[in-house]
């Protein structure tokens, strides 16, 4: 038994900080039961996703509790959004080393509360445990979508346009900024990029609107090129995108102006939590309207192409002159080597 000096017991912590987050969701039973009950609306199915984040791997070890909580939740909501699901509830497993103080847990719960208001979700279950390792958080998010209508990764057609929401590369540049690797960047740009790394903005309201328009979709978490490759592989197609069309924030443009080599980080760095999707060219008007209604940039960056030849990479990234960029890495992967 790991007793943590200074912390109240597990049940007191749940009652104090987490049970209030279950209020308003009857099937959560106030977190006083062993499990929660949830049913999709008629004609809908539940869409479920889990993603865990680890201190020192996915977020800095000294990160405040509220930001850690919101990042853990949001990376999961981002996947639901990319599938067109409306988020409804989530569960959290929280593994804490004995160095964590109650104030950190209070901040963690406050971060969840803030995002519950923002995204209309409720905490319906979870687990707390001690760990000799770093703070580790596993979130399971539950959303709903019309039955059989979620936007799959498979489903793209040759000739479909490739779109991406928002801007790409900010989070990856933000991580490099935190690591001190972008010393020449102005302070305002640096702050914007770091903020994008620390706090993803999942496209929760836009995502469900893409049902019936997008032929395939996923969220950009491993990196634009790697995630487009995932989409190509399951759709059995290739893709050609044009680097100059990839939407960049002014801060990312400033960083690339200082060091043009950062373009590769932008294209492959990951943690964007934007939606990458394919749709017919004819959907462009409808997408422009959605972009205006939801104040989310939606940018065409290329096209899907017939299946790649043997030994041909499925994703080609072209520069302004139409020449293929040679990228040394395609994106984040845990374990082993990132594929070339």
Q: Which of residues 53-82 bind a copy of itself (CB under 8 A)?
A: 53-54, 56-58, 79-80, 82
Q: What minimum distance in Å lies between the beta carbon of 6 and a copy of itself?
A: 8
Least Å from the CB of residue 128 to a copy of itself:
6
Residue 26 burial (CB count, 10 A): 13
CB of 76 to a copy of itself, least distance (A): 9
| Site membership for a copy of itself, residue 37 (CB under 8 A) | yes
41 is a site residue for a copy of itself (CB under 8 A)? no
CA–CA gap between residue 64 and residue 70 (Å, rounded): 10
Other CB atoms closer than 10 Å to residue 160's CB: what's the count?
Answer: 24
Burial of 79 by CB count in 10 Å (0-12 exposed, 13-18 middle, 19+ buried)? buried
- CA dist., res. 237 & res. 315, Å (int): 9
- In whole angstroms, what is the distance from residue 121 CA to residue 75 CA? 14
The DSSP code for 10 is H
Stretch 169-208: interaction string toward a copy of itself, x if CB under 8 A: ----------------------------------------
Q: Is 125 in the site for a copy of itself (CB under 8 A)?
A: yes
In terms of CB distance, is 85 or 298 closer to a copy of itself?
85
**Piece in contact with a copy of itself (CB under 8 A), picked from 133-141, 194-202, 239-247, 310-318:** 133-141
Per CB under 8 A, contacts with a copy of itself among 5-34 are 7-13, 27, 29, 32-34
75/248 with CB nearer a copy of itself: 75
Pairing between strand 238-242 and 315-318?
Answer: parallel
| Sign of the C-alpha dihedral computed for residues 292, 295, 301 and 306 taken in this order | negative
Kindly report the CA angle at 221 between 217 and 225, in degrees rounded to 5? 75
Binding residues for a copy of itself restricted to 208-237, rule: CB under 8 A: 218-219, 234
Taking the complex as a whole, the smallest distance from the CB of residue 8 to a copy of itself amounts, in Å, to 5
Binding of residue 133 to a copy of itself (CB under 8 A) = yes
CB 90 within 8 A of CB 73: yes
User: Please, what sign has the CA dihedral across residues 149, 155, 157, 161?
Assistant: positive
Are residues 246 and 163 in contact, defined by beta-carbon separation less than 8 angstroms?
Answer: no
- By CB under 8 A, tell whether 134 contacts a copy of itself: yes
Cβ proximity to a copy of itself: between 110 and 338 the closer is 338
Q: Is 337 in the site for a copy of itself (CB under 8 A)?
A: yes
């Amino acid at each position: 038994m790991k007793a943590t000096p200074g912390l109240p017991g597990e049940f007191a912590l749940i009652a104090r900080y987490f049970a209030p987050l279950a209020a308003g969701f009857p099937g959560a039973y106030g977190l006083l039961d062993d499990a929660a009950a949830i049913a999709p609306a008629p004609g809908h199915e539940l869409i479920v996703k889990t993603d865990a984040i680890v201190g020192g791997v996915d977020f800095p070890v000294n990160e405040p509790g509220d930001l850690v909580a919101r990042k853990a939740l949001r990376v999961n909501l981002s996947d639901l959004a990319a599938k067109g699901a409306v988020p409804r509830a989530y569960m959290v497993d929280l593994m804490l080393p004995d160095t964590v103080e109650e104030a950190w847990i209070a901040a963690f719960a406050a971060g969840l509360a803030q995002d519950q208001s923002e995204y209309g979700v409720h905490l319906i279950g979870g687990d707390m445990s001690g760990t000799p390792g770093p703070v580790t958080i596993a979130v399971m998010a539950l959303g709903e979508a019309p039955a059989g209508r979620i936007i799959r990764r498979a489903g793209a057609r040759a000739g479909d346009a490739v779109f991406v929401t928002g801007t790409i590369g900010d989070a990856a540049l933000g991580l490099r900024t935190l690591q001190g690797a972008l010393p020449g960047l102005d302070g305002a740009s640096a702050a914007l990029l770091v903020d994008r790394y620390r706090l993803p903005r999942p496209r929760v309201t836009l995502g469900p609107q893409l049902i019936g328009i997008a032929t395939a979709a996923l969220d950009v978490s491993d990196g634009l090129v790697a995630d487009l490759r995932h989409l190509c592989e399951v759709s059995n197609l290739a893709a050609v995108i044009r680097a100059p069309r990839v939407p960049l924030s002014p801060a990312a443009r400033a960083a690339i102006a200082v060091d043009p080599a950062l373009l590769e980080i932008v294209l492959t760095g990951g943690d964007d939590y934007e939606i990458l999707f394919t749709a017919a060219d004819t959907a462009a008007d409808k997408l422009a309207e959605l972009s205006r209604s939801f104040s989310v940039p939606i940018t065409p960056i290329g096209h899907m192409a017939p299946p790649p030849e043997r030994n041909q990479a499925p994703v080609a990234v072209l520069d302004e002159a139409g020449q293929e960029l040679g990228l040394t890495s395609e994106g984040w992967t845990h374990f082993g080597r990132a594929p070339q």
